[in-house]
Amino acid sequence: MADTLYLVVPCYNEEQVLPETSKRLTQKLQTMIDSGTVHAQSRILLVNDGSRDRTWEMICELHAQNPLISGLKLSRNKGHQNALLAGLMTAMPLCDMAISLDADLQDDVDVIDGFVAEYYNGCDVVYGVRNKRDTDTVFKRTTAVGFYKFMKALGVDIVENHADYRLMSKRALQGLSEFTEVNLFLRGIVPLIGYKSAVVKYDRHERFAGESKYPLKKMLAFAFDGITSFSVKPIRIITTLGFVIFAISMLALVYALIVWLMGKTVAGWTTLVGSIWMIGGIQLLCLGVIGEYIGKIYGEVKRRPRYIIEDFLQ
């Protein structure tokens, strides 16, 4: 007998794209139900992440018109990762597998069949990996590639060119529920679950409508969250840098004493000022990095809820 599939779609101010998204996902899911690939109880779960437009009203309308569409409303905006987790945890007791994807139709819905095929082959996690980044700007492509390489250099187990387009079995979702950190970076957490996994390649499309919800500022914040949530190497780099600067300063002190004893002291205003500014800048940078980690600890120890569900249209 076919297993139940839930398509989990976080939505934030997606009124422009939601009609087309629901149409395409409904067509795909209905085709899979008719062919017997998935169970008739399979659903599309649209998660409203505190949208300020008519997104929730449209979800309610779609739910009333379409039996395949369910809706989940968070009490306020909690960010993409928390909204995605809320949808996955809500779907977990209702499904055998769940696929998370964005609402903007950049993720190719036609490869959903490939995800499910790998699931039936025994995989608990199936990652959607981009073939290429032709749709990205040069800046975004360069920074994205650099980010993945940097994360790997820090020892983080992350799938390159994979965002949040993935399938997870019920067993994998139960494993995910064991991770209770407040600072969520699902791309780094999911590989830690283990279990058998596979990769499905796809071509990412242009956004169907509306504007990206990840401008440069959010992208940089997301990247830094990922780095500080999964590696303490930046702290170790600061420690190493401290030792290096200390060693250089000792050598400089020895040199200064020798020059003074030889009576050849020369005024070095430029060097002095430059050194002060350089060391001051390094100190501020180091304090900033340490502060980020302290902020992470502050958020974790308070144990505030990652999301609060206001309404669920099942």
- CATH assignment of the domain containing 207: 3.90.550.10
Residues 101, 175, single domain; the answer is: yes
Flag whether 225 is in a domain.
Answer: no
Residue 68, in any domain of the structure: yes
Is residue 118 located within the same domain as residue 264? Answer: no
Q: What mean pLDDT do residues 228-232 have? A: 60
Residue 70 is encoded by which pair of tokens? 């369910």
Residue 203 lies inside a defined structural domain of this protein: yes
Do 57 and 138 belong to one domain? yes
- Is 0.85 surpassed by the pTM of this model? no
Q: 224 lies in a domain?
A: no
Q: Is 303 left (phi over 0), alpha (psi -120 to 50) or beta?
A: left
Q: Are residue 21 and residue 87 in the same domain, yes or no?
A: yes
Distances (CA, A) of 272 to 247, 252, 265, 268: 17, 11, 14, 6
Q: Domain range spanning residue 59?
A: 5-218+306-313
pLDDT tens digit sequence for 77-101: 888 888 999 999 999 999 999 999 9
> Are 165 and 254 part of one and the same domain?
no
Q: Which residue has the higher pLDDT, 205 or 14?
A: 14
Angle between helices 138-153 and 216-230 (to 10 degrees): 10
134: number of Cβ within 10 Å: 10
3-state SS track over the chain = CCECEEEEEEECCCCCCHHHHHHHHHHHHHHHHHCCCECCCCEEEEEECCCCCCHHHHHHHHHHHCCCEEEEEECCCCCHHHHHHHHHHHHHHHCCEEEECCCCCCCCHHHHHHHHHHHHCCCCEEEEEECCCCCCCHHHHHHHHHHHHHHHHCCCCCCCCEEEEEEEEHHHHHHHCCCCCCCCCHHHHHHHHCCCEEEEEECCCCCCCCCCCCCHHHHHHHHHHHHHHHCCHHHHHHHHHHHHHHHHHHHHHHHHHHHHHCCCCCCCHHHHHHHHHHHHHHHHHHHHHHHHHHHHHHHHHHCCCCCCEEEEEC
Residue 72 and residue 59: Cα distance in Å, rounded? Answer: 9
Q: What is the pLDDT of residues 114-161, one digit of tens each?
A: 999 999 999 999 998 888 755 556 666 666 666 666 666 666 667 777
Better-predicted residue by pLDDT, 152 or 290: 290
CB atoms within 10 A of CB 29: 22
Residue whose entry in the numeric block shows the structure tokens 């009576």: 263
In this structure, what token pair is assigned to residue 29? Answer: 């899911």
Q: Is residue 223 part of a domain?
A: no
Q: What is the per-residue pLDDT across 158-179, written as a single tens digit (0 to 9) for each?
A: 777 777 889 999 999 999 988 8
Q: Are residues 39 and 169 in the same domain?
A: yes
**Nearest Cα to 188, choosing from 102, 81, 78, 306?**
81
pLDDT at 169: 92
pLDDT at 45: 94
Q: What is the pLDDT of residue 172?
A: 92
Residues 118 and 195 occupy one common structural domain: yes
Task: Please check whether residues 142 and 254 belong to one and the same domain.
Answer: no
Residue 213 pLDDT > 60: no
Lowest mean pLDDT among 103-112, 202-211, 240-249: 202-211
Q: What is the pLDDT of residue 208?
A: 47
Tell me if 228 is assigned to some domain. no
The verdict on 193 and 246 lying in the same domain is no
More confident residue, 211 or 84: 84
Does the pLDDT of residue 50 top 80, yes or no?
A: yes
Mean pLDDT of the chain: 79
**Pairing of the two strands 5-11 and 43-48:** parallel
pLDDT higher than 50, residue 199: yes
Q: Tell me whether residue 227 is in a domain.
A: no
**Nearest to 109, CA basis, from 9, 213, 39, 212:** 9
Sheet holding 309-313, edge to edge: 197-202, 125-130, 162-169, 97-100, 5-11, 43-48, 69-74, 309-313
Is there a single domain that holds both residue 212 and residue 245?
Answer: no
pLDDT for 217 beyond 70? no
Whether residue 10 is predicted with pLDDT greater than 80 in this model: the reply is: yes
pLDDT, position 204: 76
Angle at 203 between CA 223 and CA 26, to 5 degrees: 100
Same domain? 201 vs 242 = no
Same domain, 138 and 276: no
Of 200, 43, 26, 223, which is closest to residue 119 (Cα–Cα)? Answer: 200
Count of domains forming the chain = 2
